[in-house]
């Protein structure tokens, strides 16, 4: 841009850089401490808590992987999150497609009934949900989480995708229709590929709360075999209480997948996670 004037202007931003710089340190410092100390030993974290390890120690990670249920927790979380996400996207896009073409008073009522769910905190339904899961025989299994997550993500998914489909010009689908394509074919051959940006937004918006959810695993699951990653972390935190370097290795490992995803596509994450909030 205007290089000459921006150089002069840049001086004026020193206070701004100080504020944001200090906050950045405050954000990054704990994460730094978490990561570097997970490579130290049980005792060196006390003598040197903030610097890089003098000798890199990988034993914490090896023991977390080998003698704990960490991998099982991790896999449980992956399965739950992936299946829930796929269902949310599939069911949400089907409804959004119907909502964009079927326009009657009944469909408007149904639409508002669905998106009202965006404002409802599902946690306050927990007591009833436990009973429902018990009667379905799903309590204490990872399958108790999947339908809850689908219901949680469904309203926002319908909202974002319906808004998006309605911007697709009607001629595009109608001409395919006149060429003899069925409604469903139009859906998967034309609408779904066009929906890709909206699908990405919905996926990210739901991925983070699904992966980071502690509440529902905590109230639904006590069986070691079925624990999700975060619920497992609460157990390992207690179990390794005397060895903080190991605790930090567990914390690092459980935060890592989302942090890596975030850093590779931070722009999408920021847009996706705030999208639900700015629905007006």
Partner 1 sequence: MANTNSRRIRGDSSLNPTWHYWMLYLLPGVIIYIVFMAYPLLDSIRLSFFTGTGAERTFTGLSNYVKLFTDEVISTRFWTAFGHTWIFFAIHMLVQNVLGIIFAVILTNRTMQGSRIYQTIIFLPVTLSILVTGYLWKLLLSPVWTGDILNSIGLGALSKPWLGQESTALIVVSLVSCWQWVGMPTMMFFAALQGISEELIEAAALEGTSTWDLFRYIQFPLIKPVVGVVAILTFVNNFNAFDVVFSMEGANGAPNYATDIIGTFFYRVGIAGQHPVAIPDAGLGAAVATVIFLMLAAFVIPTLIQSQKEG
Token representation of residue 59? 């034993």
110 lies in the site for partner 1, by CB under 8 A: yes
Q: Cβ of residue 125: shortest distance to partner 1, in angstroms?
A: 4
Total residues binding partner 1 (CB under 8 A): 93
Residue 211 binds partner 1, judged by CB under 8 A: yes
Residue span 8-37 as binding mask against partner 1, x where in contact by CB under 8 A, dash where not: -xx--x--xx-xx--xx-xxx-xx-xx---
Nearer Cβ to partner 1, position 24 or 75? 24
Q: Does 147 help bind partner 1 (rule: CB under 8 A)?
A: yes
- Give CA separation, 216 vs 141, 186, 197, 242, in Å: 11, 37, 29, 28
Options 176, 190, 200, 219; binder of partner 1; rule CB under 8 A: 219
> Closest distance between partner 1 and the C-beta of residue 79, in Å?
18
CA dihedral 223, 229, 231, 235 (to 10 degrees): 80
Q: Is 177 in the site for partner 1 (CB under 8 A)?
A: yes
Decide: is 130 part of the binding site for partner 1 (CB under 8 A). Answer: yes
Among 74, 208, 235, 243, binds partner 1 (CB under 8 A): 208
Tell me which H or E stretch contains 26: helix 14-37
Which of 24, 25, 62 is CA-nearest to residue 41?
A: 62
Query: Using the rule CB under 8 A, is 79 a contact of partner 1?
Result: no
């Amino acid at each position: 841009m205007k290089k000459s004037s921006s150089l002069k202007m840049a001086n004026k931003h020193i206070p701004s850089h100080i504020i944001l710089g200090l906050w950045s340190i405050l954000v990054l410092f704990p994460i730094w401490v978490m990561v570097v100390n997970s490579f130290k030993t049980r005792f060196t974290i006390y003598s040197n808590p903030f610097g890089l390890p003098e000798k890199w120690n990988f034993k914490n990670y090896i023991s977390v992987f080998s003698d704990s249920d960490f991998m099982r927790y991790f896999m449980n979380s992956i399965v739950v999150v992936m299946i829930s996400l796929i269902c949310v996207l599939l069911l949400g896009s089907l409804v959004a497609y119907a909502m964009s073409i079927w326009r009657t008073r009944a469909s408007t009522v149904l639409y508002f009934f669905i998106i009202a769910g965006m404002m409802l905190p599902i946690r306050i339904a927990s007591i009833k949900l436990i009973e429902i899961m018990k009667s379905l025989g799903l309590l204490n299994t990872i399958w108790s989480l999947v339908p809850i997550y689908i219901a949680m993500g469904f309203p926002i998914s319908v909202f974002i995708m319906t808004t998006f489909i309605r911007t697709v010009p009607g001629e595009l689908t109608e001409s395919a229709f006149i060429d003899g394509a069925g409604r469903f074919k139009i859906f998967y051959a034309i609408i779904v590929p066009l929906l890709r940006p909206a699908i990405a937004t919905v996926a990210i918006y739901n991925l983070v709360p699904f992966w980071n959810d502690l509440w529902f695993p905590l109230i639904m699951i006590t069986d070691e075999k079925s624990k999700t990653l975060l619920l497992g972390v609460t157990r390992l935190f207690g179990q390794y209480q005397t060895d903080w370097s190991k605790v930090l290795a567990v914390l690092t490992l459980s935060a890592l997948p989302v942090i890596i995803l975030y850093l590779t596509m931070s722009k999408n994450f920021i847009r996706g996670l705030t999208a639900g909030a700015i629905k007006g």
